[in-house]
Amino acid sequence: MCVRRITPLVVALVAATGCAGGSTTAVPGPQNAPDIGAYPPMPNDAPPGASASATATATAIGRGVNFGNMFEAPTEGAWGLTVTDDFIDKATAAGFTSVRLPVRWSNHAGAQAPFTIDAAFMTRVASVVDKLLAKGVVVVLNMHHYRQLDGDALDTGESSVAPGVVDVRFVVLWDQIATYFQGRGPRLVFELYNEPHGRMNGEPWNVLAARALRVVRRTNADRIVVIGPTSWNSANDLRLLKMPNDANLIATVHNYNPFRFTHQGAEWVSPVLPTGVTCCDAAQVAEMTAPLDVARSWSVAARYPVFVGEFGAYSKADSTSRFDFDRKMRQAMESRGMSWDYWEFASGFGVYDPATLTFRQGLLDSLLGR
């Protein structure tokens, strides 16, 4: 999710609390451009269900927030925000127990083999990860907005790569990320990809996710990894998702229903939806909760927990309706045993005002149950 997307959405913790330091330089990829066949997928014919560690980590994610429009912009700051110590301090002090960190790794890596991630960018992301981990929160570190992977048009400021290397580059990027962060403690969680869609829909994503997970497991045998379904992490596509044969996994969905309320006036939706839509009557509540019921049923059958990685209402909606939406969504998710991360901290959906350096108190209270 971000305010630049042109395609609308379809819809224990283990005891260790410290984190070890990592390398200070980026980990290079392989020296020759490999064929995707060099990265065979992990089998996905007999997923065992979640381990106790995965279940505990899903619970520990709790009530979280996305640091959106920061690292997933083509370059940090291009969409108006950079990660600041103030954001880290305020988010964690407010009571959020997790931070999802969307990152556009694809625009900070070589276009040709070995696809090496820029060392300065890797160090910058790691500095934020480490500051968050030092605050005691769970950090969900993902790959976000690799536009070519989904077959989307590129964003302004985004560089393209040869079509034939897009998929293998995704896997090699994860090999580097996983290697770099392998020393961090168990509160660091990897999320393979945000909202796969387009050319990834259906079986292509099942296969690519299984390839990426196999390379992650080379260096992070027990790291908890989040995998979501296609059609922009739609709960309706959970039926198509094949979890690899791995117990240390959490599933994720995103839920922006009712879309005409949550995205009214959003400039990146075409056509722009009319404003003035209020929330939340009984029909809207039913629309909000339907995907959660689908996800809950899937979770019980598949024996993996579900984490709602994104939900929220854009600032063009009236404040009273936004408060009601957040409160009802929080209650609906938590009554179904789902942790969540709100979209997002300080931009168009933001719970925090970066100009005044204060929270939008009504939003904060509706999210944290005050």
Question: Annotated catalytic sites, by residue?
Answer: 195, 310
| Packed helices 166-180 and 119-134: angle between N→C axes, nearest 10 degrees | 50
The sign of the torsion formed by the CA atoms of 225, 231, 234, 238 equals negative
Residue 232, amino acid: W
Per the CB < 8 A criterion, the answer to whether 68 and 309 are in contact is no
Mapped onto helix, strand or coil, the DSSP state of residue 184 is coil
Per the CB < 8 A criterion, the answer to whether 244 and 43 are in contact is yes
Going from the C-alpha of 166 to that of each of 33, 192, 210, 261, the distances in angstroms are 11, 15, 16, 35
Q: Per the structure block, which two tokens stand in for 239?
A: 């039926």
Q: Per the structure block, which two tokens stand in for 224?
A: 């908890």
C-beta neighbour count of 164 within 10 angstroms: 11
Per the CB < 8 A criterion, the answer to whether 113 and 29 are in contact is yes
Return d(Cα 277, Cα 264) in angstroms, integer.
7
C-beta neighbour count of 17 within 10 angstroms: 12
Return d(Cα 311, Cα 335) in angstroms, integer.
16
